[in-house]
Amino acid sequence: MNFPRLYLASASPRRHEILTQLGVPHDVLKLPAVAGEDEPRLPGEPPADYVRRTARDKALRALAYLASPAGNGFEPRPVLAADTTVILDDDILGKPVNVDDARRMLWRLSGREHEVRTAVVVATPERLLEDVSVTTVHFAKLNEADVDAYCASGEPMDKAGAYGIQGLAGLFVEHIAGSFTGVMGLPVFETGRLLRRFAP
């Protein structure tokens, strides 16, 4: 398949891996960090709106960067950005701030079903297309030893909901309905469809 070369506006190694696996030619765009809280939710904002807004914001920030003096030297290419959000009881479980936070999140997920939404955006200054994958994930009941060992592995720390389905936490996941790669951070089906729509 012939995909346009693009900039991946993401610091997530998983997104880079999945795009590479799909044969999508891309360069990772390293954006300067934004000050303040990471991706705050607006008051009363539904999680389904939050994830789409956040992915759009990431793409728009990347486009603004390319258009700024700092972006001088980059080519005019589409940018791809994504956001993955773990939702339980209408709460958004972000990345844990420390090990205690990770433990709290894992105990909340234990023995229950939650939703993972990943919004993907492809954009140029003229055009923006987006898609969302929605997956239900059922966690087995965890025990102290599971949670201790998992936290000691360090895997929870840079991941929404304090787990990565692609790693050791795969042992906790009894069932999913939806997209495995969507839970990992970049849904293959929706991303391919979006890129084909973008460059027919």
- Whether the CB-CB separation of 37 and 15 falls below 8 Å is answered with no
The one among 6, 7, 10, 78 contacting ligand TTP by CB under 6 A: 10
Interface pick for ligand TTP out of 185, 191, 195, 198 (rule CB under 6 A) = 185
DSSP secondary structure letters along 38-103: SSPPPTT--HHHHHHHHHHHHHHHHHHHHHSGGGTTS----EEEEEEEEEETTEEE---SSHHHHH
Q: Select from 159, 181, 190, 191 the one that contacts ligand TTP (CB under 6 A).
A: 159
Residue 171 exposure: Cα atoms within 13 Å on the Cβ side: 10
Question: Which is nearer to ligand TTP, 32 or 200 (by Cβ)?
Answer: 32
3-state percent breakdown (helix, strand, coil) of the chain, nearest 5? 40, 25, 35
Q: Which residues, 65 to 104, sit near ligand TTP by CB under 6 A?
A: 82-84, 86
Buried b (16+ CB within 10 A) or exposed e, 140-168: eebeeebbeebbeeebbbebbbbbbbbee
Site string for ligand TTP, 39-68 (x = CB under 6 A): -------------------x----------
Annotation marks residue 83 as catalytic:
yes
Shortest reach from residue 153's CB to ligand TTP, in Å: 13
- Residue 183 binds to ligand TTP (criterion: CB under 6 A): yes
User: Of 83, 90, 100, 146, which one is the catalytic site residue?
Assistant: 83
**Does residue 134 interact with ligand TTP by CB under 6 A?**
no
Residues near ligand TTP, by CB under 6 A: 10-12, 14, 58, 82-84, 86, 116, 159-161, 163-166, 183-185
